[in-house]
Amino acid sequence: MNRFGYARPTSIADAVRLAAKDGARYIAGGTNLVDLMKEHVERPTSVIDITRLPLGRIEEAEDGGLRLGALVPNADTAYDRRVQERYPLLSSAILAGASPQLRNAATNGGNLNQRTRCYYFYDTATACNKRVPGSGCGAIGGVNRIHAILGASDQCIATHPSDMCVALAALSAQVEVAGPDGVRTIAFADYHRLPGEDPARDNSLERGELVTAIILPHEDFTQNYTYLKLRDRLSYAFALVSVAAALRIEGARIAEARLALGGVAHKPWRLPHVEQLLVGREADEAVFRQVADALLDGAAGQGENDFKIPLARRAIVRALSQAAAGTPQSQTDKRVA
């Protein structure tokens, strides 16, 4: 491991000042950054330990929503009574991710900023435009079973690994960040980026900016929702395809719909105009198939991951059916304190 400096600031202002230097990286739970440092993918010149900052609480937001502190562990967020009662979709998504031990260590802010688990990104002996811009993409024409079918480019076909972020996208969350120029709020849809011509940049954070909170708006998707995750094994595996679905049903018709996919793109995949195809319609499988086709319009495989397209289509229909019936996918994981 390369030599690096270490600092543990006690104020957000000091953390931002220290992190504005070239080569600085924030660290909290360390469940992703430490691995990347061990593999020489990340070689920071200084590590800014933010675990002493006052960002470890879940609080009521002004509009009736919730403000999730960036340093709240994923497990504490998932099991918080207010999250379970008012945002069960988010709780379900978190419990579908990683392992109990990792959820106890990983933080909300870190979950947003984790990097892809692409084989080539982690292997410094291979080409990866995300790791070394301009070096090429080993996954294109290579081993790409887990890779993107939507939003990819000829520079990168990696996927975002988070389950939590798929639910946050569906819930129209906002991300509060502090930086050298002050505090700003980013709509979740604008937080993560598609690879385009600059796959090395995962999100819209500027240098030195720190995620301080996630804001959940006041909404009511407590009855008709589900988080469906399809993976190679039941626990401790990333999604091949995941679906966060939330409906508000009035009478026999859908009044509002939210739908986001994970495991298929460089960011959680949500198309609000496709959700509108559900509004005013009855909860019917034929309608769900139409929506699935629209959400997957333009999907393209890379050979080994071609199966993801029909898998995603079936998953969308199944998730919408579960949400409409009020029978969310159960998560069998139990909390480890």
Q: Which residues of 39-78 are buried (b: 16+ CB within 10 A; e: fewer)?
A: eebbebeebbbbeebebbebeeeeeebbbbbbbbbbbbbb
| Cα 240 to Cα 159: distance, rounded to the nearest angstrom | 10
Tokens standing for residue 118: 């692409």
Q: What pLDDT does 330 receive?
A: 86
- Cβ atoms of 148 and 266 within 8 Å: the answer is yes
Q: What pLDDT does 40 receive?
A: 95
Instruction: State the pTM of this model.
Output: 0.97
- Cβ atoms of 146 and 305 within 8 Å: the answer is yes
| Cα 280 to Cα 252: distance, rounded to the nearest angstrom | 9
Residue 248 neighbours by CB under 8 Å, 6+ apart: 220, 221, 224, 254, 255, 256, 257
Going residue by residue through the chain, which has 337 residues, state the pLDDT in tens, using 9 for 90 and above. 689 999 999 999 999 999 999 999 999 999 999 999 999 999 999 999 999 999 999 999 999 999 999 999 999 999 999 999 999 999 999 999 999 999 999 999 999 999 999 999 999 999 999 999 999 999 999 999 999 999 999 999 999 999 999 999 999 999 999 999 999 999 999 999 999 999 999 999 999 999 999 999 999 999 999 999 999 998 889 999 999 999 999 999 999 999 999 999 999 999 999 999 999 999 999 999 999 999 999 999 999 999 999 999 999 999 999 999 999 998 644 333 3
pLDDT tens for 56-87 read 999 999 999 999 999 999 999 999 999 999 99
Q: What pLDDT does 335 receive?
A: 36
| Cα 281 to Cα 138: distance, rounded to the nearest angstrom | 44
Question: Which helix or strand (DSSP H or E) is residue 17 part of?
Answer: helix 12-19
pLDDT tens for 166-207 read 999 999 999 999 999 999 999 999 999 999 999 999 999 999
Q: What pLDDT does 334 receive?
A: 38
Q: What pLDDT does 234 receive?
A: 87
Q: Between 285-295 and 308-325, two packed helices, what is the crossing angle to 10 degrees?
A: 140
